[in-house]
Structure 1
């Protein structure tokens, strides 16, 4: 996924189907400078992590 699309998804009120390593995730925010996103699995908000936006896949 590219940085701009990740930002659009993060700011949208509509939930998009995005996965990271096969797990459906929620994108909290995107860091423009580092091109990373703060994400967490939909069913495990306590497992927040920062990943490269290139690792995210929109379905």
Structure 2
């Protein structure tokens, strides 16, 4: 995935399925470097991680 698509997903009102290493995640925001994003797993846990956007895929 690239930074433009991450921004599109963040601004969309649709529920767009995104995966990181096979796990379904929510994107919380694109980081200032434009290469990483803050995400958390879908579900009750709110633990956030910073990941390379190149490793995110749409399901």
Does residue 9 (structure 1) correspond to residue 15 (structure 2)? The answer is no
1:2–1:42 distance in 2 versus 1, CA, 3 Å:
same
SS of equivalent to 1:38: strand
Q: Which position in structure 2 is the counterpart of 1:27? A: 27
* Aligned residues: CA RMSD: 1.4
**Any conservation in 2 of the 1:6–1:30 contact (CA below 8 Å)?**
yes
Measure the CA separation in 1 of the matches of 2:4 and 2:58.
Answer: 13
Distance 1:7 1:45, change over 3 A: farther
Where structure 2 has 5 or more consecutive residues not aligned to the other structure, the ranges are none
Structure 1 residues 44 and 23, CA gap change in structure 2 (3 angstroms): farther
Q: What is the deviation of 1:44?
A: 4.0
Which runs of 5 or more structure 1 residues have no equivalent in the other structure?
A: none
